Chains A and B, each alone.
Chain A
C-alpha cells in the first residue's frame, strides 16, 4: 500500500495567491482529516470528513480556507487568498473508523511557505 499521498511536498507562494493542497487517502479508508502543524500552535485539526461528507470544520481558521472531498480517493484544501501566517506544514490523515479511535495514517505533509 502506498500510504496517504500528499502533493505538493513543498509550496512557496506569494501573499494573496491561491494555494491548493491535495490528498489521496489509503484505499478503503472512509475517514479523512486535515491538520496544520506550526511551532507556535502545534498540531491542529482543521476539518474531518467521513464518507466524503464534512463532519466537523470548526478548526478551519477562517473563510479563506476551504476543503472538499469529491470522492473517496481525493481531497483538497484550498487557501484563497494566502497570507504569511498560513505558513505551516499541512498533513492529511485517513482512517477506517467513523470515529477517531482507530489509527490515523498520516501523509508526509505539505510544507507551505507564504512570502
Chain B
C-alpha cells in the first residue's frame, strides 16, 4: 500500500533555531514529491522535487530528495514565529494512463516557533 510518513508529528523550537522535517515514502511509480505549508487555511506550495540530490532553495527554506532511500527533508534556518505552521509532504505516483495517477499526502509536521 502506498504511504507517505512525516516526522516528527510536531515540533516546538525557539526563534533562530534550525529545523529539519522529514518525509519518507513508499509510492508506486514515483513521479514527484511536493512540500506545502499550511497555516490557518489552504496549503501553499513550497517545493516540487523530482530528481535526487538537487537542492531546491527559497530564502531560509531548502529541500532535497533522495530517491534511493525514498525520503526528502525540508530545512528551515533561522526560524521565525511566522514559520509556525503545518508542513505537508505529498508524493505523486501511479501511471499517467487511466485513473492511476494519484497524490498521496502525509499527515504533516506541526511546527511551533516561540519568540
User: Is B one of A's binding partners?
Assistant: no
**A residues in contact (CB < 8 Å) with B:** none
